């Protein structure tokens, strides 16, 4: 690291390093403060000068509220389904049956390796083309949205869970099996609870991304938050009022979601809760 | 008929021939200590006994039931074979009591209350009556290993396999685990013990089996083995220990 070690004695070096650390910390404080000040000034300017509060009150209901609730609904359904499907993908991925694990691997490769936007088009535009007559589902765009988000995020959840499962020492499965428990019982009672804890952070991270991925649903003609923004913007020529609303709306979902995940992580840690026999 | 019988057992890891034509009989209530240099195949022999490893030829029978038969109900057979590991392998997300009660509840469908009551008794028997609610991370190595023994006993097995169960312990914790094993032996449990604890072997074993290079080279009573091994291999092994 240091190139001038040849000329400095041990004590010199101690002092130097201490100085450097102190200077580094001060630089950090100064830099972040400056950054926060600039951002604060900018936000203040936007909120005080740019946002049209009369318009804000006007658009917040019903248009914006409905878009917000629609996003929440789609997120809730897709999130639950993608975690369930992800557990299946993860279990298939660690299967000792070659066929099962390679099918799961291909699934993950495809859904992680192609853009979600493309996958949404495949489902929304590609699939109905396979019908000769008219496609039987009304409002297929909503189905397509949920299916697309679920299939895509199941791949990420599955891969996160695979990592969690593989981080559990082999001895856990061996101990469980040697007691006469079946593979399924061992997975459910011994491996998955531990693997779940290890993968929670990664799964939670993915679920936050799922929330943000709903912005892509605008291409499926679903009036979500970004569509609402574009509509309001083109009708009123005001950019910053809807921008502020969109930012608040997304953060109103993602910040509580982050809290929920952190709570789950704490609850999954046996050291933080007492014995419950 | 012996309780546990090995007949012409051969095991390969890839190209490596780790168990060579093993013939061995363990009688009911026998404490069979298996010793030998590392890499001699003694742990593998135990792991094959409850099919954590598969053998390539030969047969292992428990009570005349061939457990190496591909059609054997391995979950059923494993209930009759308790195993204790070098690295304890306790379930870290469960308390000591839950570790012991889990398999009886799930496998034998013992009602929760009863399973917990039995588990409490077993933990008391291994001297851990006060630690039922502790998580493994809160226990010392010796305590964890005793929970692991109680966990294996909870399935009421016919035979117990001990795979170098004191090798991962601090020296001062070895005694408490051996004590529990000594008690078990006195109560008449059939045990197959892979160990480096020669004092334990001499004192508790009914038979001592020396393995080297995947073969059984000597199998005698402990007095004879430790006083004057009949084979050259046995003499070599002993001379290295002293």
Task: Check if the beta carbon of residue A44 is closer than 8 Å to that of residue A230.
Answer: no
| Among B residues 42-61, those touching chain A with beta carbons less than 8 Å apart | 50, 52
**Residue A2's pLDDT is what?**
46
Burial classification of residue A96, based on how many CB atoms lie within 10 Å of its CB (0-12 exposed, 13-18 middle, 19 or more buried): exposed
Q: Do A60 and A138 fall into the same domain?
A: yes
Q: Do A19 and A146 fall into the same domain?
A: no
Query: Is the pLDDT at B195 greater than 60, yes or no?
Result: yes
* Percentage, residues of chain B above pLDDT 70: 100
Structural domain includes residue A276: no
Chain B residue closest in CA terms to A270: B93
Alpha helix (H) residue ranges in chain B: 42-49, 74-78, 96-107, 112-125, 141-153, 171-186, 198-204, 222-227, 232-241
Query: Is the pLDDT at A201 greater than 70, yes or no?
Result: yes
Q: Do A44 and A151 fall into the same domain?
A: no
pLDDT digits (tens, 9 = 90+) for B17-69: 999 999 999 999 999 999 999 889 999 999 999 999 999 999 999 999 999 99
Q: Do A177 and A123 fall into the same domain?
A: yes
ipTM of the complex, rounded to two decimals: 0.94
**Other CB atoms within 10 A of residue A247 CB:** 12
d(CA A270, CA A37): 42
Structural domain includes residue A273: no
**Residue B229's pLDDT is what?**
85
Query: Is the pLDDT at A270 greater than 80, yes or no?
Result: no
Structural domain includes residue A62: yes
Among the partner residues A178, A189, A190, nearest to B78 by beta-carbon distance: A178
Structural domain includes residue A275: no
Q: Tell me which residues of chain A have a C-beta less than 8 Å from any C-beta of chain B.
A: 169, 171-172, 174-182, 185, 189-190, 193-194, 197, 270-271, 274-277
The residue among B152, B139, B158, B160 whose CA lies nearest residue B100 is: B152
Number of domains in chain A: 2
**Other CB atoms within 10 A of residue B69 CB:** 13
Q: Do A232 and A162 fall into the same domain?
A: yes
pLDDT digits (tens, 9 = 90+) for B209-220: 999 999 999 999
In Å, how far is A178's CA from the nearest CA of chain B? 6
Q: Do A34 and A84 fall into the same domain?
A: no
| A256-263: Cβ within 8 A, 24+ apart | A257/A204, A257/A207, A257/A208, A257/A211, A258/A204, A258/A208, A261/A200, A261/A201, A261/A203, A261/A204, A261/A207, A262/A204
Structural domain includes residue A91: yes
Q: Chain B residues with CB inside 8 Å of A181's CB? A: 75, 102-103, 106-107
| Among B residues 184-223, those touching chain A with beta carbons less than 8 Å apart | none
Q: Do A111 and A193 fall into the same domain?
A: yes
Q: Is B168 an interface residue toward A (CB < 8 Å)?
A: no
Three-state secondary structure call for residue A181: coil
Among the partner residues B98, B137, B155, nearest to A271 by beta-carbon distance: B137
Walk me through the domains of chain B, giving residue ranges and CATH numbers: 2-91+157-239 (3.40.50.300)
Q: Do A202 and A245 fall into the same domain?
A: yes
Distance set, CA B161 to CA A207, B118, B189 (Å): 45, 21, 11
pLDDT band at A14 (very low <50, low <70, confident <90, very high): low
Segment B120-148 shows an average pLDDT of: 97
pLDDT band at A82 (very low <50, low <70, confident <90, very high): very high
Q: Chain B residues with CB inside 8 Å of A277's CB? A: 95, 97-98, 116, 132-133
CATH code at A185? 1.10.3720.10
Segment A222-237 shows an average pLDDT of: 93
Q: Do A128 and A45 fall into the same domain?
A: no
Q: Do A75 and A24 fall into the same domain?
A: no
pLDDT digits (tens, 9 = 90+) for A230-250: 999 999 999 999 999 999 999
Structural domain includes residue A274: no
Structural domain includes residue A103: yes
Q: Do A45 and A56 fall into the same domain?
A: no
Q: Do A196 and A129 fall into the same domain?
A: yes
Q: What is the DSSP letter of B111?
A: -
pTM for this predicted structure: 0.86
Task: Check if the beta carbon of residue A124 is closer than 8 Å to that of residue A220.
Answer: yes
Segment B98-120 shows an average pLDDT of: 97
Query: Is the pLDDT at B241 greater than 80, yes or no?
Result: no
Q: What is the DSSP letter of A218?
A: G
pLDDT band at A137 (very low <50, low <70, confident <90, very high): confident
Structural domain boundaries, residue A24: 1-50
**Residue A276's pLDDT is what?**
41
Structural domain includes residue A78: yes
How high does pLDDT run on average in chain B?
Answer: 95
**Residue A144's pLDDT is what?**
96
């Amino acid at each position: 690291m240091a190139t001038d070690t040849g000329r400095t004695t041990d004590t010199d070096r101690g002092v130097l390093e201490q100085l450097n650390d102190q200077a580094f910390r001060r630089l950090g404080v100064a830099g972040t403060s400056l950054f926060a000040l600039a951002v604060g000034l900018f936000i203040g300017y936007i909120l005080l000068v740019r946002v049209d509060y009369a318009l804000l009150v006007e658009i917040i209901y019903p248009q914006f509220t409905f878009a917000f609730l629609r996003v929440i609904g789609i997120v809730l359904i897709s999130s639950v389904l993608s975690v369930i499907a992800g557990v299946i993908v993860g279990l298939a991925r660690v299967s000792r049956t070659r066929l099962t694990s390679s099918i799961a691997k291909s699934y993950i490769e495809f859904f992680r390796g192609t853009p979600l936007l493309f996958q949404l088009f495949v489902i929304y535009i590609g699939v109905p083309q396979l019908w000769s007559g008219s496609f039987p589902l009304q409002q297929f765009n909503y189905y397509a949205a949920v299916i697309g988000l679920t299939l895509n995020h199941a791949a990420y959840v599955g891969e996160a869970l695979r990592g969690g499962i593989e981080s559990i020492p082999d001895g856990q499965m061996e101990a469980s099996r040697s007691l006469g428990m079946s593979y399924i019982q061992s997975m459910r009672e011994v491996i998955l609870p531990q693997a779940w804890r290890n993968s929670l952070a990664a799964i939670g991270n993915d679920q936050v991304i799922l929330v943000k991925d709903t912005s892509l649903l605008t291409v499926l003609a679903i009036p979500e938050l970004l569509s609402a923004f574009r509509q309001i913007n083109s009708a009123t020529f005001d950019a910053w009022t809807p921008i502020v609303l969109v930012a608040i709306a997304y953060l109103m979902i993602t910040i509580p979601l982050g809290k929920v995940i952190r709570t789950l992580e704490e609850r999954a840690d046996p050291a933080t809760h007492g014995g419950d026999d | 008929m012996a309780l546990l019988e090995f007949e012409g057992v051969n095991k390969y890891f890839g190209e490596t021939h780790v168990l060579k034509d093993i013939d061995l009989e363990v009688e009911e209530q026998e404490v069979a200590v298996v010793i030998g240099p590392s890499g001699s195949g003694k742990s593998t022999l135990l792991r094959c006994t409850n099919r954590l490893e598969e053998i390539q030829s030969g047969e292992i029978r428990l009570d005349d039931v061939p457990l190496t038969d591909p059609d054997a109900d391995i979950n059923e057979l494993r209930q009759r074979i308790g195993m204790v590991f070098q690295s304890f392998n306790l379930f870290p997300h469960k308390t000591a009591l839950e570790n012991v009660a889990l398999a009886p509840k799930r496998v034998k469908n013992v009602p929760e209350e009863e399973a917990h009551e039995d588990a409490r008794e077993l933990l008391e028997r291994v001297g851990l009556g006060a630690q039922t609610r502790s998580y493994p991370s809160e226990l010392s190595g010796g305590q964890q290993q005793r929970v692991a023994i109680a966990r294996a006993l909870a399935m009421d097995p016919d035979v117990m396999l001990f795979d170098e169960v004191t090798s991962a312990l601090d020296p001062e914790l070895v005694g408490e685990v051996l004590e529990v094993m000594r008690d078990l032996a006195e109560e008449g449990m059939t045990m197959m013990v892979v160990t480096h604890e020669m004092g334990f072997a001499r004192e508790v074993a009914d038979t001592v089996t020396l393995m080297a290079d995947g073969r059984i080279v000597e199998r005698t009573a402990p007095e004879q083995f430790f006083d004057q091994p009949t084979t050259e291999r046995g003499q070599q092994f002993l001379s290295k220990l002293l």
